[in-house]
Copies of this chain bind each other. A is one copy, B any other.
Amino acid sequence: MFAPCPATPAPPVAGEPAAVHVRTPIPGPASEALRARHGRFQDARTVHYYQDARRSVGNYAVDVDGNTLLDLYGHIAALPVGYNHPDLLAAWRSGRFDWAAGYRPALGVAPSAEWVDVVEHTLMRIAPAGMAQVMTVTTGAEAVENAIKAAFIRLAARRRGGAPASPAELRACMLNQQAEANRFKIISFDGGFHGRSLGALSATRSKAIHKLDFPAFDWPVVAFPYQQFPLDAFAAENAARTAAALERVGALCISHPDEIAAVIVEPIQGEGGDRHASPEFFRALRALTRRHGVALIVDEVQTGAGGTGAWWAHSAWGLDHPPDLVTFSKKMQLGGYYMSSELVAAEPLRIFNTFLGDPLRGAQLEVIVEVIERDHLLETTRITGNYLLSCLYELSGRHPGLLSGARASGTFAAIDVRDGATRDQIVSRARQRGLELGGSGDRSIRFRPALILEPRHVAEAMDILEASLGA
C-alpha cells in the first residue's frame, strides 16, 4: 500500500472522469482505422492512440474507442491545466478570445492592443527574476534558434567594440563566408535536447536518430554532471562530475577566446533521461560564464511553466545573477525566450519573422496563468510531486532489481528501469491498463502530467504501474 493521499489546494475539475476505464486494446480498432487513413498522408507510426478531443477532461484522455486513460505524459509535457479546462472553454465561449479569432497577424508589423496586454500582464507577469524582455515565436526549436542568435549578436558587437560591420563583413555574410562568425560556438551538454532545426540541433546531444545525416556546426560538447540518486550515497561521484564539467567549460572558454557565444543547458535533461545537475553546478556555471562574458541560456522548454512546482525550474538554484536567456514553449502554448537587458539587440529586425508567436495561443495562456494562480496549482504540483516521489521510492523498494533512481522536482519525475526493453514493455503494458507515461533517455520512465494532477490520481497511477511491472 502507498501512503495516504495528502490534501492540495486545487479544486476538482468539473466533469473529470472518476477513474480509468479500458474497453479495448489501446490503440483499439477505431484508433487503428484512423491510423490507416492518417498514414496515407502523414507519418502516423508514432501515434500512440487517437483522442476524442471533446470528451477528454482534466487528467483523463478519452480515446476514439471509448477508453479513458489517466494521462501523466501530457502531450510531451505540453498540457498545463489538463484537457478542456472549464475556464478555458468558458473564456472561449464568452467572446474573450474574439480579438484573436478572425485573422492571424504578423505581430511585429501590426499587432492589436490586446497583444500588448498578453505581453505585459501574462508573459512578463510570470517572467523569471532579472528578465527585462520577452521574445515570442511559435516553438521550442525556434526559441532556441533565436536565443542563440541573440547571443551571437552580442558577441559580435563586443568584438567590434561598437564599430559597425565592415563592407567586407557585409559581403562575406551573403556568401556564408564570415570568417569570424563561422567560428562562433555554442557549448552544450551530452544528453541535452534543444530542438531539431539545424542550429538548435547542433546543440542537441540526445540520440543519434535526432542528428544522423544532418550537417552540424563544429560546436563543443561537455559531459553533463548528472547526479546519481540517492544523493547521499553518491556524493563523491556527483561532486567529481560537477567539477569536471566546470573545468571543461572553463577550458573551452580559454582555448576559444571570443568564440564561445553561449552555454545552453536544461535544468533537468528532459529527453536525455531526466538527468538532474546540482544547484551548486548551476551557480558555478553562472559565475564562470559571466567571468568569460559568455551568455548562459537556460532551456526551460520542458521544465518551464510549473511542472517542477515553480514557474521556472532555475528559480530553485539561488543564482546571484540571472541567466542571460531563458527559453520556453510546450506548457506555455507558444515558444519564446526571456532575456536580460544586456541581450536586447541594439537594432531592430535582426531577429524577426512573420508570425512572431500566435496571439490565439497567447490569449489562452492568459487564462491558463489565471487558473494556475487562482487554484494554487504550483503549490498543488509541489504537494503532488512529493507524494509521487514517495510512491516511486516505495515502488522501487518493493522491486529493487527492476526499479531504481526515483527522482522528481514537482511532478517532473522519473524512475529508471533495469533496461530499455523492459522499460518499453512496462510503458506499453501501463497504456493497456489505461495509464499514459513516457520514456526518457535509455531506460527511464518519465512523468509529465498537467498541473492539476492530485495525489489521488497518483495513487491510481501507481496501482496501474505496479500491475504493469510484469513477473
Chain B residues, Cβ within 8 Å of A319: none
Known: A103-B75, A174-B205, A330-B354. A116 touches B37 (CB 8 A): yes
- Cβ-defined contact, A103 with B119, below 8 A: no
Number of copies of this protein chain within its complex: 2
- A245 interface contact, C-beta 8 A: no
Which residues of the other chain, B, contact A213 by a CB distance below 8 angstroms?
Answer: 152-153, 155-156, 165, 173, 178, 181, 184
A373 touches B (CB below 8 Å) = no
Q: How many interface residues does A have (CB within 8 Å)?
A: 127
Is A255's beta carbon under 8 Å from chain B? no
Of the candidates A98, A202, A208, A436, the one having the most CB atoms from chain B within 10 angstroms of its own CB is A208
| Shortest distance between the CB of A283 and any CB in chain B (Å) | 27
Q: Across the interface, do B196 and A198 meet the contact criterion of CB distance under 8 Å?
A: no
- Within the assembled complex, what's the spacing in Å between the Cα atoms of A214 and B347? 15
Residue contact A173 to B354, C-beta cutoff 8 Å: no
Interface residues as binary, A84-115 with B (CB distance below 8 Å gives 1, 0 otherwise): 11001100100000111111111011111111
In angstroms, Cα B184 to Cα A116, docked, is: 43
Query: A399 at interface (Cβ–Cβ under 8 A)?
Result: no
Q: Is A123 positioned at the interface, with any CB of B under 8 Å from its CB? A: yes
Give complex CA distance A133, B44 in Å.
Answer: 11
Query: A219 near B: Cβ within 8 Å?
Result: yes
Q: Given the interface contacts A52-B112, A354-B76, does A173 sit within 8 Å of B102 by beta carbon?
A: no
Knowing A112-B50, A199-B199, A353-B196, say if A41 contacts B124 (CB, 8 Å): yes
Please name all residues of chain B whose beta carbon is closer than 8 Å to the beta carbon of A317 when the two chains form the complex: none
What's the minimum C-beta distance from A360 to chain B, rounded to whole angstroms?
6
> Chain B residues near A419 (CB, 8 Å)?
none
In the complex, are the beta carbons of B173 and A49 less than 8 A apart? no
Does the CB pair A214–B152 fall under 8 Å? yes
Q: How far is the CA of A293 from the CA of B347 in the complex (A)?
A: 42
Cross-chain contact A47 with B361 (CB below 8 angstroms): no
Question: What are 6 A-B interface contacts by the 8 Å CB criterion?
Answer: A48-B109, A52-B112, A174-B205, A176-B217, A198-B199, A360-B361
The 10 closest A-B pairs by CB, nearest first: A198-B199, A84-B102, A176-B216, A53-B112, A156-B213, A75-B106, A53-B99, A138-B138, A145-B197, A45-B348
